[in-house]
A = this chain, B = another copy of it.
Amino acid sequence: MSAEEQFHVNEVSQSYWQVTFDNGPVNLLDPDTIDQLSVLVERMGNDPNLTVVLFRSEKPGYFMAHWDFLADTARVAGMQPGPTGLHPYVDNLVRLSKLPVATISEIRGRTRGAGSEFVLATDIRFASERAVLGQFEIGVGAVPGGGPMARLGRLVGRGRALEILLGGDDIPASLAAEYGYVNRLIPDAEIEGFADSFARRIATFDKTVVAGIKKLVDIATLPVDDEFARGLQAYFATAGRPDNRPFTQLLFQNGLQQADGIETELGGAIGRLRRNL
């Protein structure tokens, strides 16, 4: 693969890796992300000693902005199914959740849409006051594709899941913590040390036990794969509609996918721009 490496893996020890995501000024997800995450998840699954992985970002203000609206949709549509039989976009997320490895997201910036779907596929989410989450897809005419209907419904309950998904607005970290969208809020000045200590703690534990606990929590909490298949199908049926294009172009005119444009408050911007259509 000739694409730039988006997931920088720092093998802190045999049992503990830090993975820093890096793709442009706002950390977009794109077809290369799908290919590279597939490889990373397989590597994580095959390592006999790996017990815990901490996902981070060093982009100021952004964990993972969202899916790249300029991505090659034909390339995505043509991708071969992954090991679960699902399209690799959701296959990655489903496999990530089921790894016999503890996965932690340290969220210090915006993570919306596909970024939110990524953190929801990790086991544990710690967020600082700089984090902003959300599923804004409804605002651009699409059903979210990575299964947040399945995951948020079970994680935060029906009422809050529907508020997040039908409102499509920004969810600041404090509200995300109140709702259980993230585990809890850790002050930004402390979160790096906190998440690292938490990961190092798990790294001292027995991988067999991590795997054994996750297997049973999976039974109690994970959606069946078919829910992800149906979610992605709904995404493909809605996201590419020509009717959506003018509004997406309007978003680009207002700075979409730029670090200091409407990305800073995308939920609010979508509300204003749609009201004035």
Contacts and interface: CB of A to CB of B under 8 A. Distances in A.
A149 B227 contact: no
- Prevailing SS type, chain A contact patch: helix
A217 B158 contact: yes
A138 interface: yes
Contacts of A180: 156-157, 159-160, 179-180
A213 B163 CA distance: 11
Interface in A220-246: 220-223, 227, 230-231, 234, 237-238, 243
B163 A183 contact: yes
A158 B98 CA distance: 12
Interface size range of chain A in the complex = 35 or more
A45 interface: no
Nearest to A228: B216
Residue from A137, A158, A205, A277 having most chain B Cβ neighbours under 10 A: A158
Given A124-B159, A138-B206, A212-B237, 10 more contacts: A123-B158, A123-B162, A154-B221, A165-B213, A166-B213, A167-B198, A201-B274, A204-B275, A206-B243, A216-B230
Contacts of A215: 234
Interface stretch (A79-87, A139-147, A248-256): A139-147
A232 to B, nearest CB: 11
